[in-house]
Amino acid sequence: MRILSGIQPTGRFHWGNYFGAIRQYIDLQNGQDSAFYFIANLHALTTIRDRELLARNTFDAALDLLALGLDPDRATLFVQSDVHAVSELCWILMTTTSMGLLERCHAYKDKKSKGLPADAGLFTYPVLMAADILLYDSNLVPVGEDQKQHVEVCRDIAGSFNSSFGEVFVIPEAYIVQDTAKVPGLDGGKMSKSYGNSIEVFENLKSQKKKIMGITTDSRPIELPKDPETDHLFHLYSLFASAEQTQSLAERYRRGGFGYGEVKKELVVLAESYFAEARKRREELAAKPEYVRNVLADGAKRATKKAAEVLDRVKKSCGIIINI
């Protein structure tokens, strides 16, 4: 069983990235051969056009993942572009992918509907993502809800290739944990770095506190009961709290007679202690860039080995490698 996921180095990771994706990477890591995680720098090129920023973000993403618990002895961590075979497979897959399939994908569709110009990189983004997944015979892909469509597209692409050339690809499945599939942001919408409503995992504590205290809430009088199920502050609190703490807060909501300010203050404390150890580890790792570079180089070597095996199979299946 191979678990695989990728994350773009387009900025520092936020709570949505952590609870929606990274935590699952860590929970599922159970061997260098079975868990593959990579930093999707080729995908990030569709949005970042600053070489220093992309390089810095890529390195920071590795630091963050390692600090958060990704263990190089139990998983393979690498940078997407270090495995050259992915670009080759991407082209091969493009030849059997229909335009209609890509036209339905949300990133491209959203841009087009706003009348914004889209480049070919954005349009073919899901094909590169399919190559990422199929290149390693991946079975399970841990992601947040917003990536579900891309995994479906990958299944379609693999299916159409298989129907032309035989059973070449393993068909993967998305792994989505429902409770954390869509972490809300400060304003109650989906947390995303593009919406300016996110809290970064390693955000400076003062700014984190300010953001938490500014989470939007309704203007009900204190004494009235509130419904915890529909409240994004409650949702955020439950990500950090124990089951007992969450249950007790739900009872306070239903009873009424409390202010949202109290809950926010509790969330400040919970969030700080939740990531305290990771913050410490990150500082230690930042002082050892050589170690991080070695982890990535080792990871690239292992991933390249598996990729070569799959690419060879693909090329034989469609006549690129001449077997005469």
Catalytic residues: 111, 190, 193
**How many Cβ atoms sit within 10 Å of the Cβ of residue 57?**
21
7 binds ligand ADP (CB under 6 A): yes
147 binds ligand ADP (CB under 6 A): yes
143 binds ligand ADP (CB under 6 A): yes
- Shortest distance in whole angstroms from residue 170 CB to ligand ADP: 20
128 binds ligand ADP (CB under 6 A): no
| Binding string, residues 84-123; x marks residues near ligand TRP by CB under 6 A | ----------------------------------------
43 binds ligand TRP (CB under 6 A): yes
| Binding string, residues 118-157; x marks residues near ligand TRP by CB under 6 A | -----------x--xx-------x-x---x--x-------
Please give the Cα distance from 306 to 33 (Å, whole number): 9
6 binds ligand TRP (CB under 6 A): yes
- Shortest distance in whole angstroms from residue 248 CB to ligand ADP: 25
Whose Cβ is closer to ligand ADP: residue 17's or residue 81's? 17
Helix (H, G, I), strand (E, B) or coil at 5: strand
Please give the Cα distance from 180 to 235 (Å, whole number): 9
Please give the Cα distance from 110 to 103 (Å, whole number): 10
At residue 152, φ and ψ (nearest 5 deg) are -60, -45
Segments of 119-195 assigned E as strands: 140-142, 173-175
Interface with ligand ADP (CB under 6 A), residue from 140, 183, 239, 241:
183
Q: How far is CA 217 from CA 108, 118, 207, 236, in A?
A: 33, 36, 19, 12
Interface with ligand ADP (CB under 6 A), residue from 3, 4, 17, 299:
17
- Shortest distance in whole angstroms from residue 274 CB to ligand TRP: 22
Please give the Cα distance from 194 to 103 (Å, whole number): 22
199 binds ligand ADP (CB under 6 A): no
Q: Cα–Cα–Cα angle for 6, 12, 14, nearest 5°? A: 85
Structural Rg of the chain based on CA atoms: 21
- Where do contacts with ligand ADP occur on this chain (CB under 6 A)? 7-8, 10, 16-17, 20-21, 143-144, 146-147, 180-183, 190-194
